[in-house]
Amino acid sequence: MIEIRSHFSIKEYNTFGISAFAKAYTSVSTIKQLREVLAYYYNEEVFLLGGGSNMLLLNDIERPVVHVNLKGIDLLKQDNEHVFVQAMAGENWHEFVIFCIENNWAGIENMALIPGNVGTSPIQNIGAYGVELKDTFVSCTVMNIKTGDVKTLHLEDCKFGYRESIFKNEALGKYVITSVTFKLTDITKTNDYQLKTSYGAILNELENLQIEPSIQSVAQAVINIRSSKLPDPKVIG
C-alpha cells in the first residue's frame, strides 16, 4: 500500500535546506511499493528523490515526487580475499562507507563523506582522492520506470567515464536504480591491498594525525580534508 501526501515539505530532504513543497510525495521502502507508485503515475513524469544532494530547488515541485528509500546491506558472497556486498539505493553513501570500514572491507574508504545515497552513486560514477565508483562496482539492479521490469546492469553495461555513465545519456529517465553491488577487499585475509594515499593532501593529513596508514585512517584523513573545505550541510545548506 502506498501513501501519497499532498503539498509535502521537502526542506529536510534536500541538502541545501530549501523550503519547497512537493505537489504529491510518496516514500517507497520496498520494490513492490516502487513498482506500484510508478504504475500509478504511468502517464506522468515523476521526480525521483534520493539523498537530496546535487540539486538546487528554485520552486515547488509540480511533478509527483517519489522518494527512493530502499534500505538494506547484504553480504552476497566471499572468496579468499574479496567480499561482494549489495547495498540498497536508499542507504546513505557515507554511512555505507563507514559500515564497510568497520567490517574491514576496503576499496571505497577514499570516498568517505561524499553526500548522497548509494542509489545515485553510479549515475555520475562518483569519485574522490584517486578512487572512482567503477573501481569496485560489480553491478546494479534497475527498475524500468514505464514497465516495472527489474534487471541487472553490469560494469560494462554502465559505460562509466569521468563523472559519466549510461544513466546520464541513453538511459536518462529510463530506470530507477534499486541496489548496487560492490567487490571489496577483505583486509583480514590479505596483505596485498594497496592503500591510495598519494592523491591530494592525504599523506600530509596522515602525518598530522600521527597514525599509521590504514583504511580507517585514510577515511579519517579524507573526512578531515573535506570538512575543512566544505561546510556541514546539516548546519549550512
pLDDT in tens, 115-129: 999 999 999 999 999
Q: Compute the average pLDDT of residues 229-234.
A: 82
Query: Are 85 and 162 in a shared domain?
Result: yes
Q: Is residue 202 part of a domain?
A: no
**Is a pLDDT exceeding 80 seen at residue 56?**
yes
**Is a pLDDT exceeding 90 seen at residue 50?**
yes
Q: Is residue 17 part of a domain?
A: yes
Query: Are 95 and 31 in a shared domain?
Result: no
Query: Are 50 and 145 in a shared domain?
Result: no
Query: Are 116 and 166 in a shared domain?
Result: yes
Closest C-alpha among 65, 68, 101 to residue 85: 101
Of the listed ranges 75-84, 101-110, 154-163, 194-203, the one predicted with least confidence: 194-203
Domain-ending residue, one of 144, 167, 186: 186
Q: What is the CATH number of the domain that holds 31?
A: 3.30.43.10
pLDDT, position 129: 94
Tell me which H or E stretch contains 85: strand 82-88
Q: Compute the average pLDDT of residues 40-53.
A: 95
Query: Are 118 and 61 in a shared domain?
Result: no
Contact of 51 with 45, CB cutoff 8 Å? no
Q: Compute the average pLDDT of residues 188-206.
A: 90
Phi, psi of 195 (to 5 degrees): -70, 145
Tell me which H or E stretch contains 228: helix 215-229
**Is a pLDDT exceeding 90 seen at residue 235?**
no
Contact of 225 with 200, CB cutoff 8 Å? yes
Helix (H, G, I), strand (E, B) or coil at 195: coil
Query: Are 122 and 154 in a shared domain?
Result: yes
How many Å apart are CA 66 and CA 226, to the nearest integer? 30
Cα 111–Cα 132–Cα 57 angle in degrees, nearest 5: 70
The domain containing residue 14 runs over which residues? Answer: 5-68
Query: Which residue has better confidence, 199 or 151?
Result: 151
**Is a pLDDT exceeding 80 seen at residue 200?**
no
Contacts of 150 (CB under 8 A, 6+ apart): 31, 141, 142, 143, 144, 178
pLDDT, position 212: 87
Query: Are 34 and 119 in a shared domain?
Result: no
pLDDT, position 229: 86
Q: Is residue 53 part of a domain?
A: yes
Tally the domains of the chain.
Answer: 2
**Is a pLDDT exceeding 90 seen at residue 211?**
no
Q: What number of CA atoms fall less than 13 Å from residue 197's CA on the CB side?
A: 18
Domain-ending residue, one of 68, 92, 121: 68
Q: What is the CATH number of the domain that holds 127?
A: 3.30.465.10
pLDDT, position 160: 98
Of the listed ranges 99-108, 200-209, 216-225, the one predicted with least confidence: 200-209
Residue 14 cell numbers, joined: 534536500
Q: Is residue 87 part of a domain?
A: yes
pLDDT, position 121: 97
Q: Is residue 145 part of a domain?
A: yes
Q: Compute the average pLDDT of residues 133-143.
A: 98
How many Å apart are CA 139 and CA 137, to the nearest integer? 6
Query: Are 178 and 100 in a shared domain?
Result: yes
Contact of 161 with 125, CB cutoff 8 Å? yes
Query: Are 47 and 127 in a shared domain?
Result: no
Query: Are 79 and 171 in a shared domain?
Result: yes
**Is a pLDDT exceeding 80 seen at residue 170?**
yes
Q: Is residue 219 part of a domain?
A: no
Q: Is residue 216 part of a domain?
A: no
Residue with cell 554511512: 95
**Is a pLDDT exceeding 90 seen at residue 236?**
no
Question: Which residues face 66 on adjacent strands?
Answer: 26, 48
Query: Are 118 and 131 in a shared domain?
Result: yes
Q: Is residue 63 part of a domain?
A: yes
Q: Compute the average pLDDT of residues 3-9.
A: 97
Domain-ending residue, one of 42, 68, 94: 68
Question: Mean pLDDT across the chain, nearest whole number?
Answer: 95
Query: Are 82 and 161 in a shared domain?
Result: yes
